[in-house]
Amino acid sequence: MNQPGISINGAVVPKDGHGEAECEDHFVVLPCEDVRRVGYSGPIAVGMSDGASESILAGPWAKLIASKSAASAYGYGRMPWGSGDGFEHLITSLVEDWAAWESEYINQRQREGNPLRWYENYKLSDGAFATLLAIRIEPPDESSSSATRQRLPLDVGQWRAVAVGDSCVVHVRDSSIVTCFPLESPSDFHSSPALIGTQGNSSHPNRNQAMFISRTYKPLDEFFLMTDALAAWFIDVSKRATSKEFKQVMDKLKESLGEPSTGSFRTWITEQRSNGAMRNDDVAIVHIQL
């Protein structure tokens, strides 16, 4: 399938008063820049994670989750959904990789003459925590089974996602929301979402905590992947605004995302926080226009 109009933009914005390096929300898009190439016809995968600020090293943990969940969704190894153990394998792999990263982090602190303080060791024993959101968007000519392909029109594709916590994907068609996943209402967001922890089996989410979805999309559909502060705001606006007003909001959001060199998206986020419309929390967003 030729996809000359495909567009993917993303950004992260730290809390007001914090620097970029302090942002604990992360995302990874695969296959990186290839998806912007005219004629690209393969799948698109995104991993996104929101680190829980109350835990130590939440940012690096979220970064690892975003990277490995994107790779899993793209097809590097077992995909994190379906009837098999792909999701469990992803979580086990994350915990194992974290153990190696944490060991090197501790050793590096020792080499620099800055060993962990007692309170850091205490928090490290509790572990780091973060959300997980991974999505795979398959082109219309790729399908999970021949039977499924036979039931779909030629220009209709499939998308799948898995989520633990409150980072969300919103599927939009003709400026109207088709699907919100895993949360659907502003009231669904709260201060204690499900999280993935680093401390082995004791912190593994079971399959009941993970949410899975499989849906179809059409040409020109859009996807917004967002961490909780922006997702709650976006869903709230969609329910209160008229169709025309919601389209104007989306257009402004996409316009600011498309100008990364100007910092207009960060400015726009700051405005929403200043007027009380959005919580002052780290923000990550990826917008995909098919």
Q: How many of the other CB atoms lie within 10 Å of CB of 60?
A: 19
Integer CA distances (angstroms), 14 to 18, 42, 58, 163, 229, in order:
6, 32, 14, 22, 11
CA-closest candidate to residue 77, choices 115, 30, 123, 143: 30
Q: How many of the other CB atoms lie within 10 Å of CB of 165?
A: 26
Residues β-bridged to residue 213: 161
Q: Would you give per-residue pLDDT tens digits along the chain (290 residues)? A: 334 557 889 999 999 999 999 999 999 999 875 555 555 678 899 999 999 999 999 999 999 999 999 999 998 777 888 656 889 889 999 999 999 999 999 999 999 999 999 999 999 999 999 999 999 999 887 655 544 545 667 788 999 999 999 999 999 999 999 999 999 999 999 989 999 999 865 555 555 689 999 999 999 999 999 999 999 999 999 999 999 999 999 999 999 998 777 789 999 999 999 999 999 999 999 999 98
Cα of first residue to Cα of last residue in the chain, in angstroms, is: 12
